[in-house]
Structure 1
Amino acid sequence: MAKDHSNFFNDVYEVVRLIPRGRVTSYGAIANYLGTKGSARMVGWAMNAAHGLSDVPAHRVVNRTGILTGKHHFETPSLMQERLEAEGVEVIGDKIQQFDRVFWDPSAELSL
């Protein structure tokens, strides 16, 4: 039986809504937090489907090295960077600068 992707996508969106302004996380960190380590690609698919959802700050989710791999899924290729810079995140050459300083790990930040 196939897993219900809509529930997984909604779980991803709930985590993404919690990422603070000026911070970023990775697809893999979200997958790990949701107990589906190794499903970073599924998180990516969820994020690609999130661009019509105004309450999901998709621009705050990047790859594990801080590269704006999802930028082509925004209305314009520069919009992801513009949104991050508006929050004080420095981006040069599609890569977040001082990535370790702005990285938000949901497993640490949302621990019970």
Structure 2
Amino acid sequence: MHERLAADPAREVEETLLSRPGLRIGRIVSSGQASPPGHWYDQTEDEFVLLVAGEAGLEIAGEAVPRRLRPGDWVHLPAHCRHRVAWTQAEPPTLWFVIHHAPAAP
């Protein structure tokens, strides 16, 4: 299954599965990739992340240590929650499902 998803293990593969106004569902296959040094994601939408296969370390601003994610683990990142990928397992590849959605109205 993963061989089909990650044709080039030297690069991360990101695919949008469904996109609607205020909603985007995607799949990411990582093979040892991490966020570039000093790069933090700071998104305008909320993000729900489900780790399906492999393992990863997710750094969240304000937390002392990266969260270790294993299959079945999930995290909800509110809009503007700064985060970065510290590391991903290369073999087997790390498979993520992500849902980006509009933040809830206050």
Q: TM-score range by the shorter chain?
A: under 0.3
TM normalised by structure 2 equals 0.28
Select the structure with the greater relative contact order (CA < 8 A; seq sep ≥ 6).
2
Q: Greater share of strand residues, 1 or 2?
A: 2
Q: Greater share of helix residues, 1 or 2?
A: 1
